[in-house]
Amino acid sequence: MRKLQSAHGGRDPGAVYNGRQEKDDVLRLTLAVGEILQNNGIDVEYTRTTDIYESPLQKAMEANEAGVDLFISIHRNSFPTENTAFGVESLVYDLSGLKLEIAESIDQQLETIGFRDLGVKARPNLVVLRRTNMPAVLVEVGFINSDVDNELFDANFDDIALAIAEGILDVLRSQGLVPDAPGQGTGGGNVPGGSAAPGYRVQVGAFRNQQYAGRLLNELLEQDFPAYLIDSGDYIRVQVGDYADMNQAVEMERRLKREGYQTVLIRG
């Protein structure tokens, strides 16, 4: 079971810019992310689904009492000078473990939408990261006082929700903590050479948006990776290679990781 925290709420608007309130943006986004996770078989609990206020400590204690195994807190960032800072970043208690992998995965997915990736940072003093008993990630989805980030947020809202959900799901699947998505693992596809029964492949991304999948495909091809697309219906998957020998697939996965890609090894 996963806990999704929508930051602020009620009397606490969070960051505000030109009448725009953080609490509204993050509630809408949290509910959208939660819906995608639920559609992928994840049991989701929310700290709030309406405009109410609870302190960060209350939210952390609720998660502990519910016994959830992952805590995701969704925010919008702010900077003292408007239209100066922009980008996404994720915060964790320390730079280790499952929480770090998920934070990096979420940031990488959001970068494909057009946000600048500011990286993952350790913030051991934050209550929702310090007082939760499970891996916890706080995601700052762009700066609310950046017109550039707000334009990205509004124009790509559905894709942002999907990016966060996929960032979480990709890591959980790679760790064997949740089942593979439909069409992944045993499914076929238009792999190079028309092979109906591929052996081992490396998945580098999964998107609903054809443009984002194509962008990643072209980036990989420019680096001479044998990449291709598989359209399984719900998702367009960007994969590399078609190997009968698992050792070859593992070596390709290592190469991709060295180049900074988030990968999943698939046996088909």
Q: Look at residue 74 and tell me whether its pLDDT is greater than 90.
A: yes
Best CA proximity match to 108, nearest among 267, 256, 221: 256
What number of helices (H) and strands (E) belong to the chain? Answer: 8, 12
What is the rounded average pLDDT of the residues 126-143? 97
The rounded distance, in Å, linking the Cα atoms of 183 and 268 is 10
At residue 185, the pLDDT reads: 42
Contacts for 69 with CB less than 8 Å, ≥ 6 apart = 1, 2, 134, 135
- Beta strand pairing status for 200-207 and 117-122? unpaired
DSSP assigned state of 96: -
Q: Which residue has the higher pLDDT, 9 or 185?
A: 9
Q: Between 4 and 182, name the one with better pLDDT.
A: 4
Within 10 angstroms of residue 97's Cβ, the number of other Cβ atoms is 11
Place of tokens 């190997």: 243
DSSP classification of residue 9? B
pLDDT at 218 over 80: yes
The pLDDT mean for the chain works out to: 87
Which of 1-15, 145-159, 170-184 shows the highest mean pLDDT?
Answer: 145-159
- Answer for the pair 135, 143: CB distance below 8 angstroms, yes or no: no
* Residue 265 pLDDT > 80: no
DSSP code of residue 188: -
CA atoms of 7 and 56, how far apart (whole Å): 8
- Whole-model pTM: value is 0.70
Lowest mean pLDDT among 166-175, 180-189, 212-221: 180-189
